Structure 1
Amino acid sequence: MIQTVIFDMDGVIVDTEPVHHFAYNQHFNDLNIDVPAEMYATFTGFSTKNTYEKLKENFGLPHEVDVLVNRKRELFNDAFDKKEDLYLLEGVENLIKDLHSKGMQLVLASSSAKVTIERVFNRFKLHQYFTYIVSGEDFPKSKPDPAIFIEAARLSGTPIENCIVIEDSTNGVKAAKSAGIYCIGYVSPHSKLQDLSLADKIITHFNELDFETVKGLH
């Protein structure tokens, strides 16, 4: 029986991707580099640090990775605070409340930095529903490396076979399956060019899930 649901954040709970995209593109312009859409899509699920490691490698950037990361975060935070039309994805708040009210443990495992997670959780008052928050910045490798999900399951105190992951990215689904965890792939309207075929179940709307459905997955 499923006891813990591990949520990704970007593209699953909230769509901050347009804000990230805006901040990254502003930074790419400043750096005078041209990042094709196909390359950008491969960064979905990566931490900011891993993204800039790849960009530094591909474009021979002379800057330190930490300097690049901090500049992009400044641009993101500025854009995030100004963006008024930022909402939770349709149906996800009802699902979170339903699962939580019936005793399901909820854990967040997001590639986002802690400061970004805090901004989202404070804005939408989500702290009350989640037992643990795990950020990708605490791990040397991003998804598809399974470390973040293994740690989320460990913190939850739930055996891996009693956990599920909800993910919207190719890298996230691969990470969940590498961790040996049942994975629901969410076809997010905002996450482009993602392959969810390795997921155990694929949904297109959160109204396809509720406590009883989730509890019985295996």
Structure 2
Amino acid sequence: MKAIVFDFDGTILDTETPWFDVYLETYKEYGVDLPIEIWSQVIGTDGVHILYDYLLANATKDVDLQAVREITSKKHKQVMEKKELRPGIENYFNEAKEMGLELAIASSSSREWVEYFLNKFNIKQYFEILKTSDDVKNVKPDPALYLEAVKDLGINAVEAVAIEDSPKGAQAAKAAGLHCVTIPNDITKLLPFEEVDLQINSMSDVTLEWVISQIKKNN
């Protein structure tokens, strides 16, 4: 292996569980429940319109979408001010560097969004490559983000491991030809995963070296 390509939202920092909680709370004000089946269509993608379409179709009173956007964004920002990186993630960054592996990020979010948190937590220096929605026409589950990442790393896809938290992200990584390890968060652990090389509960449970050894053993 020559590189590790990390997803960002939900993997490095769990922004997704707070988003779900915020939307769930906001939707209740309109008499609408938010099923995990609907939310799962959005995780790891840019499909937020699905949430708004569902709200408009099921609300028991008039919906001001601009107000919904502003309220959910404000609430999410407040929650994220107190959020920490996922347990064990910085150990993986440091271990990867000790093993001589290059690191990249492949995220369906915007570069501005990702860089804000990378700078906030002072972890931007770990990554050689950053690919976001700004760099591709189609985000996950399309493989473009991962294909661009390995291209810029100058390696073959099979020489990289993707670390993901969502089924759509894993689908993108596998379609691009990378090995894929999934580490679901509190929300994505409720979803079915297909065709991943390895799934673990937490990065604080096992070392990166062990993860890579398992991938090599199974391939």
Q: 1:91 is matched with which residue? A: 88
Q: 2:206 is matched with which residue? A: 208
What SS is found at the alignment partner of 2:161?
Answer: strand
Post-superposition shift, 1:69? 9.0
- Cα deviation code 1:131-187 (max 9, x no counterpart): 111113543433221111111111111111211101111111111111111111223
Instruction: Give the 5 Å matches for 1:149-164.
Output: 149-164=146-161
CA distance in 2, matches of 1:84, 1:180: 36
**Contact kept in structure 1, 2:20 and 2:39, CA below 8 Å:** no
What are the ranges of 5 or more consecutive residues in structure 1 without an aligned counterpart?
62-67
Q: TM-score, normalised by structure 2?
A: 0.79
What SS is found at the alignment partner of 2:20?
Answer: helix
Q: Which residue identity lines up with residue 151 of structure 1 in the other structure?
A: E
Q: 2:118 is matched with which residue? A: 121
CA distance in 1, matches of 2:67, 2:136: 17
Moved more, 183-192 or 144-153: 183-192
Mapped pair 1:107 → 2:104 = yes
CA distance in 2, matches of 1:176, 1:156: 15
The structure-2 alpha-carbon separation of the partners of 1:195 and 1:24, relative to structure 1 and needing over 3 Å to count, comes to same
Q: 1:64 is matched with which residue? A: none
What are the ranges of 5 or more consecutive residues in structure 2 without an aligned counterpart?
58-64
What SS is found at the alignment partner of 1:42?
Answer: coil
- Cα deviation code 1:108-137 (max 9, x no counterpart): 011222222122111211111011111135
CA distance in 2, matches of 1:191, 1:109: 18
Post-superposition shift, 1:24? 3.7
- Cα deviation code 1:20-45 (max 9, x no counterpart): 22454466578886543321122111
Percent identity between the aligned chains?
27
The structure-2 alpha-carbon separation of the partners of 1:9 and 1:73, relative to structure 1 and needing over 3 Å to count, comes to farther
**Contact kept in structure 1, 2:146 and 2:173, CA below 8 Å:** yes
Higher relative CO (Cα under 8 Å, sequence separation at least 6) belongs to: 1
Post-superposition shift, 1:91? 1.0
CA distance in 1, matches of 2:70, 2:132: 15
Instruction: Give the 5 Å matches for 1:180-195.
Output: 180-195=177-192
The structure-2 alpha-carbon separation of the partners of 1:69 and 1:89, relative to structure 1 and needing over 3 Å to count, comes to farther
Q: TM-score, normalised by structure 1?
A: 0.79
CA distance in 2, matches of 1:60, 1:137: 29
Q: Which residue identity lines up with residue 147 of structure 2 in the other structure?
A: I
Mapped pair 1:169 → 2:162 = no
**Contact kept in structure 2, 1:11 and 1:190, CA below 8 Å:** no
Moved more, 7-16 or 78-87: 78-87
Q: 2:11 is matched with which residue? A: 12
What SS is found at the alignment partner of 2:188?
Answer: coil
The structure-2 alpha-carbon separation of the partners of 1:88 and 1:69, relative to structure 1 and needing over 3 Å to count, comes to farther
**Contact kept in structure 2, 1:24 and 1:72, CA below 8 Å:** no
Q: What is the CA RMSD across the aligned residues, in angstroms?
A: 3.1
Q: Which residue identity lines up with residue 87 of structure 1 in the other structure?
A: E
Count of paired positions: 209
